[in-house]
Chains A and B, each alone.
Chain A
Amino acid sequence: MREWLFFLLAILLCNGSLFSQNKELLYDFTEIPQAILLNPGMNTSFSWYAGIPLTSGIYGQAGTSGVTVHSLFANDGLDINDKIRDRALNGMTKRDEFGATIQIDLLHGGYRSKKNPKHFYSFGVYFESNTILYWPQDLAYLGFDGNADQLGRRFDLGHLKTRGEGLTVFHFGLNKEIDRKLTVGARAKVYSGIYDFHSSTNTGYFVTNEGQNNLLSNTLVADMQIRTSGFEEIRAILDDEISGSVPNVITKRALLGGDLGLGVDLGFTYNLNQRTVITASLLDLGFVYHSGDVKGYSLQGSATTEGVEVILPDALSDPNADFWQDLVDEIEASLPFEDTYNSYITFRPTQLYGSIRYNFGEPMNGDMDCDCDIGVTGADTRFQYRNAVGGQLHMVNRPRGPQAALTAFYLRRVGNFLALKTTYTVDKFSMTNIGLGVNFQAGPVNLYAMANNLLGYQNLADSHYASFQIGLNILSWGTNR
């Protein structure tokens, strides 16, 4: 049992405790191959690239819109019970969230078609996990304070909202330059779910009122459900109920032996003119069908109790009646807590990106013929400029509705070997999120590193949000002819 709890804890901690998945630094950073994962229709100028397995893209992100580690555990001499009450219980609402995302490229490559250089193909496999937990405000109050002396207060069970998943994604994308202005792209994805849990459609309440007969009545109205997939077999192994090894189970589920799903990414880049570019992409429009190792728990119904009730003379008819057990049975019948084993579908957290970019300054290849510009075809007149500014929008679908972030960015290219991008992002986690990304190109070796919310790094424990991304690729530019 201990191992099982440890496993659950490890998943939660590995997923971190917050997130929004916005990769504002990487988006439309066209020098970096992994940017094509955020917009399959981005402008590409690679002949081919090959990510170094396991290191071509490592991404981590964590955030909290409520309390930070520092706000609770700072060595400030304050009583932690006061800090919890002031900053968590009284300081957060049901809309505050904790979340985290991890994404690791296991394999990633791309190549330009020799037959048709307007076509660029990309493919790969990556692992992704993400978790989100909304602050269960009313349940937290109930847990810390209880129900005493709070007649009529309804504790909303709908405040319990969480979901998390771990899966590998096999993808293949086509990027096509339609004409000198427009590039479009699409990517097909096959999801192989390793684990999943979610509980996001709960409703109901718990309330204590003056009783009709007795002093108090407690009422629970619940329509709650948590569904899981991928945990039972691991739990059984850890509890020695079945033979097997956890790594084998995880590996099998990661390699298309788990819950399968399908998805698609779509995107485009459109050059309004030589300097102004708009882009947009829709990512993870898909689903996963959970059927292999599912287990759920449901609590549905309603019950009101005023304790054991004995009303004479009716109660005299059965002198051996067990009033307590009758009460328990009655509540369990009205409010059954049941295990469920039904398959279910989850929809991926679909993301939307959009951007507008204005390029300015000296063209990087302005003194060259059109054949030598950033484009890959003779008709292409798209130049890379030394500078670019613009804005980006990111939206992601969350259990409590879409979550948005707005970004302003500045991109600077230094020679042919260095590009820098800095961003300022506003979202529910932070109003002071400044990020910086750098891309080095040393011959065929491409190395990039990015981090945002840099101001938060002054005291990471007090940061509401942090993310980083690093990667290493080998690539070649040009037409691949």
Chain B
Amino acid sequence: MKKLLFISLLFLLGLSSCVEEQNFNQWDDLEIIPTVEASILYVESPESVINDAPGAVWYIQTFNFDAFNEDFFAENVLDGVIVYELENTTSKDLEIIFEYLDDAGNVLDTETFTIPSAPTAVIRRETTYGTPTGRSMDIIRNTSEIRVNASNFGDTTSTSTLPDPKIIFRSSGKFRLQLK
């Protein structure tokens, strides 16, 4: 009988569990903030299009662009940077104006690039949003259209001697999203 009591006691002790104090309030402190990046807009034009244009403004186009004001993105984005890169192999000095517009067509922000004729280095610019020294994040959140306005400051007859002369505009965005 003693044996049985001992074994039973051992079993009960074995089953008596302890749980060290846990602090589940830590969950509130958890932050999930991934940084995502993707291309935004690519515009490419051969020099012949510039030469064929009737005036100085050889291209102007407003693009619908809903990526920024999608609810998921607009509600969670913290800050970010937009990278612009321009490459000009034409024989002309060019100006590219990049504008962010809201739903009503109001201009929220503008980037202006003046690019000398070839040969010239690739122009690269990074503009930050949402940081203390950057521009307002609301610009990005409220953007629903992008307007590209391209002007020719040179002639309309010359052609660069470089192979396949063209103006190329590249852009990408890198943003931090607060998922929790």
Question: By the criterion CB–CB under 8 Å, are A312 and B14 in contact?
Answer: no
Chain B positions near chain A (C-beta within 8 angstroms)? 3-4, 7-8, 10-11, 14-24, 26-27, 29-32, 34-46, 48-49, 52, 59, 61, 63-67, 83, 85, 148, 168, 170-172, 174, 176-177, 179
Supply 10 A–B pairs (Cβ within 8 Å), ascending by A: A73-B26, A73-B27, A214-B41, A305-B38, A308-B40, A414-B3, A418-B4, A420-B7, A457-B14, A459-B18
Chain A residues whose C-beta falls within 8 Å of the C-beta of B3 in the assembled complex? 414
Does A459 lie within 8 Å of B64, measured CB to CB?
no
In the complex, which residues of chain A have a beta carbon less than 8 angstroms from the beta carbon of B177? 146
- What separation, in Å, do the CA atoms of A348 and B142 have in the docked complex? 51
A311 to B43, CA, bound (A): 6
Residue of B whose beta carbon sits closest to that of A438: B11
Given the known inter-chain contacts A218-B38, A305-B38, A325-B64, please indicate yes or no for A80 contacting B43, CB distance below 8 A.
no
- Closest chain B CB from A247 CB (angstroms): 30
Closest to B16 in A: A457
- DSSP majority for the A interface? mixed
Chain A 304-329: CB-based contact to B (< 8 A → 1; otherwise 0): 01111111110110010011110000
Contact B20 A70 (CB under 8 A): yes
B116 to chain A, nearest CB (A): 21
A316 to chain B: which residues have CB within 8 Å?
49
Q: Which of A107-115, A137-145, A269-277 contacts B (4 or more CB under 8 A)?
A: A137-145
Contact A312 B39 (CB under 8 A): no
Which residue of B8, B10, B52, B174 is within 8 Å of A148 (Cβ)? B174
Q: Is A81 an interface residue (CB 8 A)?
A: yes
Is there an interface contact between B15 and A216, defined as CB atoms closer than 8 Å? no
A75 near B35 with CB under 8 A, answer: no
Check: A241 CB closer than 8 A to any chain B CB.
Answer: no
Q: Is A240 an interface residue (CB 8 A)?
A: no
Q: Is A313 within 8 A of B46, CB to CB?
A: yes
Question: Given A306-B39, A324-B63, do A214 and B171 touch, yes or no (CB 8 Å)?
Answer: yes
A322 in contact with B29 given A215-B170, A309-B42, A310-B44 (CB within 8 Å): no
Q: How far is the CA of A81 from the CA of B27 in the complex (A)?
A: 9
Contact, CB under 8 Å: B22 / A73: yes
Say whether A475 faces chain B, with CB atoms less than 8 Å apart. no
Is the C-beta of A208 less than 8 angstroms from some C-beta in chain B? yes
Contact A308 B26 (CB under 8 A): no
Is there an interface contact between B42 and A306, defined as CB atoms closer than 8 Å? yes
Chain A residue with Cβ nearest B59? A312
Given the interface pairs A214-B42, A308-B41, the reply to whether A457 lies near B23 with Cβ below 8 Å is no
Chain B contacts for A147, CB-based, 8 A? 34-37
B10 → chain A closest CB, angstroms: 8
Q: A79-B29, A312-B59, A461-B19 are in contact. Are A215 and B171 (CB under 8 A)?
A: yes
B53 to A: closest C-beta gap in Å: 10
Pairwise interchain contact A457-B17, C-beta atoms closer than 8 A: yes
When distances are taken between beta carbons in the complex, the residues of chain A under 8 Å from B10 are 436
A343 interfacial by beta-carbon distance below 8 Å: no
The 9 closest A-B pairs by CB, nearest first: A146-B34, A307-B39, A457-B17, A148-B35, A214-B39, A312-B45, A214-B42, A215-B172, A80-B26
Q: Which residues of B contact A436 (CB under 8 A)?
A: 10-11, 14
Cβ distance A214 to chain B, nearest Cβ, rounded Å: 4
Choose from A69, A307, A324, A438 the contact partner of B22 (Cβ within 8 Å): A69
Extra 18 A-B pairs, beta carbons < 8 Å, given A308-B41, A310-B148, A324-B66: A73-B24, A74-B20, A80-B30, A81-B29, A84-B30, A143-B32, A149-B35, A213-B42, A307-B172, A308-B40, A310-B61, A311-B42, A325-B64, A436-B14, A438-B11, A454-B14, A457-B14, A461-B19
Complex: chain A residue closest to B50, CB-CB: A312
Give Cα A420 to B52, complex, Å.
95
CA distance A82 to B39 in the complex (A): 31
Across-interface contacts of B19 in A (CB, < 8 A): 459-461
- Set A213, A313, A459: member contacting B170, Cβ < 8 A: A213
Nearest A residue to B85, CB-CB = A215
In the complex the two chains form, is A81's CB within 8 Å of B31's CB? yes
Q: Which residues of B contact A144 (CB under 8 A)?
A: 32, 34
In contact, B17 and A216 (Cβ under 8 angstroms) = no
- Report if A458 contacts B (CB, 8 A): yes
State A214–B44 Cα separation when bound (angstroms): 10
* Nearest Cβ on chain A to B177's Cβ, whole angstroms: 7
> Which residues of B lie under 8 Å from residue A80 when comparing CB positions?
26-27, 29-30
A223 at interface by CB-CB < 8 Å:
no
Question: Do B170 and A324 touch (CB < 8 A)?
Answer: no
Instruction: Verify if A462 is at the interface (C-beta below 8 Å from B).
Output: yes
A432: min CB distance to chain B, Å: 14
Query: Cβ of A451 < 8 Å from any Cβ of B?
Result: yes
Does A211 belong to the interface (CB within 8 Å)? yes
State in angstroms the CA–CA spacing of A213 and B172 once bound together: 12
Cβ of A217 within 8 Å of any chain B Cβ, yes or no, is: yes
- Report the Cα distance A80→B37, complex, angstroms: 26
Quote the shortest CB–CB distance from B110 to chain A (angstroms).
19
Say which residue of B18, B35, B171 sits within 8 Å of A458 (CB atoms).
Answer: B18
CB pair A460–B17 under 8 Å, yes or no, is yes
Instruction: Give complex CA distance A145, B11 in Å.
Output: 47
Chain A residues with Cβ under 8 A from B8's Cβ?
A: 438
